[in-house]
Amino acid sequence: MSDLDGKVILITGGAGGIGTASCQVLAGAGAKLVISDIAVEAGQAIADAICSKGGEAIFMRADLSSEEAIEALVDRTVSHFGRIDGAFNNAGLEQHNTSIDQLSLAQWNAVMQIDLTAVFLCIKHQARAMLANGGGAIVNTASGLGQIAIPNAGEYVAAKHGVIGVTRAAAADFGAKGIRVNAILPGIVRTPMIERLSQDPAFSGHIDGLRKRHMMQRFAEPTEIGEAARWLLSDRASFVNGIALAVDGGALAN
């Protein structure tokens, strides 16, 4: 028996770098997945690939800027699989690579909406459904930038600090009611987000410094984040609640 056998898990940002790898890890551990993203073709392809290997997964498009879409996503999870045991709130947008004095309110709001407000809304509706079936586990993707800052990333740094805050707040709200809520703080991970950021000198100028800060002198592979999510979503982490788990090769310890 595998550690997520039969557990119904919803993942957002499932078509992205960390999301795709995490879908494979979670399905490999026996989870039944609801995979969500705005990238329909890529998301459907991941669900199809999991099903073709004998796993259980469906894809549902949901734009996390809408509370109605988030509520519908949770409802579909429960109507399709009968329950929701876990959620990996992983979707996110990168910063605009601009210092705060040049950052527009629209840029600030765009990142706060997806990287923080959507995490709150996901937790809200997931917790309602989990309370109805006796509990569950929620994992939110924050970042090392939830604890430290780099230049030209004010809206992202603020949002990711907020993800750690709402994770702890939710852990306090639901800890006695059977729902554990934790955050993962990835270091730099090889994904399309980092490829996009690296095109901009305002970010790429920091890449060497960031690599050196990772004590292991390399960046993460996306599956290494998925493995941490697998553990936190499983009953093996039954007394782990409200933590900000760095999965960063020692970057935050440096």
Ligand X SMILES: NC(=O)c1ccc[n+]([C@@H]2O[C@H](COP(=O)([O-])OP(=O)(O)OC[C@H]3O[C@@H](n4cnc5c(N)ncnc54)[C@H](O)[C@@H]3O)[C@@H](O)[C@H]2O)c1
Catalytic residues: 156
| Euclidean distance between CA atoms 100 and 83, whole angstroms | 43
If the CB atoms of residues 131 and 192 are measured against ligand X, the closer one turns out to be 192
* Whole-number Å distance between alpha carbons of 178 and 128: 12
From 193, 210, 215, 240, residue interacting with ligand X (rule: CB under 6 A): 193
Count Cβ neighbours within 10 Å for each residue of 179-193 and write b for 16 or more, e otherwise. bbbbbbbbbbbebeb
Among 92, 136, 154, 249, binds ligand X (CB under 6 A): 92
Residue 194 engages ligand X in binding (rule: CB under 6 A): yes
What is the tally of helices (H) and strands (E) in the chain? 10, 7
Rounded least distance, CB 8 to ligand X, Å: 20
Cβ atoms of residues 58 and 109 within 8 Å: no
Binding residue for ligand X (CB under 6 A) from 8, 46, 93, 111?
93
3-state secondary structure of 98: strand
Q: How many CB atoms lie within 10 A of CB 93?
A: 18
CB of residue 113 to ligand X, shortest distance in Å? 8
Q: Please give the residues from 122 up to 141 whose contact with ligand X meets the rule CB under 6 A.
A: 141
* CB nearer to ligand X: pick between 141 and 241: 141
In sequence order, which residues have a C-beta less than 8 Å from that of residue 160 and are 6 or more positions away? 115, 116, 142, 143, 145, 146
Contact between 252 and ligand X per CB under 6 A: no
Shortest CB 190 distance to ligand X, Å: 7
CB of 1 to ligand X, least distance (A): 29
- Does 155 contact ligand X by CB under 6 A? no
- SS3 of residue 80 by DSSP: helix
Binding to ligand X (CB under 6 A): which residues in 36-65?
Answer: 37-39, 63-65
Q: What residue ranges bind ligand X (CB under 6 A)?
A: 12-13, 15-19, 37-39, 63-65, 90-93, 114, 141, 143, 186, 188-189, 191-194
